Amino acid sequence: MERAGNNARLVPYDPELIDMFFIMDGDLTMYLIPSQVIAGRVQILLRTYAKYIVGSAAGFMTLSPPSCVMTSPAPGA
């Protein structure tokens, strides 16, 4: 949704210009929503688009130890 100035009214995106919306919410749930599905809207309630959930980024936010350790070759090897 585009804002045409500070106090201007909200203007919906043109679905002819955008194919898909990628949205990540505060819980790190990722959505991929076709623009045609939300065409004409300037606000959406994400819980109504659950069928467009494509995953979660929460796993990217945790640190885990490396799965392998690189070592230097033995001298003379």
Q: State how far the Cα of 77 lies from the Cα of 15, in Å rounded to an integer.
A: 62
Q: 46, 31 in Cβ contact below 8 A?
A: yes
Q: 21, 31 in Cβ contact below 8 A?
A: yes
Q: State how far the Cα of 48 lies from the Cα of 50, in Å rounded to an integer.
A: 6
Does residue 47 come out as left (phi exceeding 0), alpha (psi in the -120 to 50 range) or beta? Answer: alpha
Integer CA distances (angstroms), 58 to 1, 16, 25, in order: 26, 32, 11
Residue 63 clears pLDDT 90, i.e. is over it: no
Give the model confidence (pLDDT) of 11-60 as tens digits.
Answer: 888 888 999 999 999 999 999 999 999 999 999 999 999 999 999 998 88
Domain boundaries, the chain: 2-57
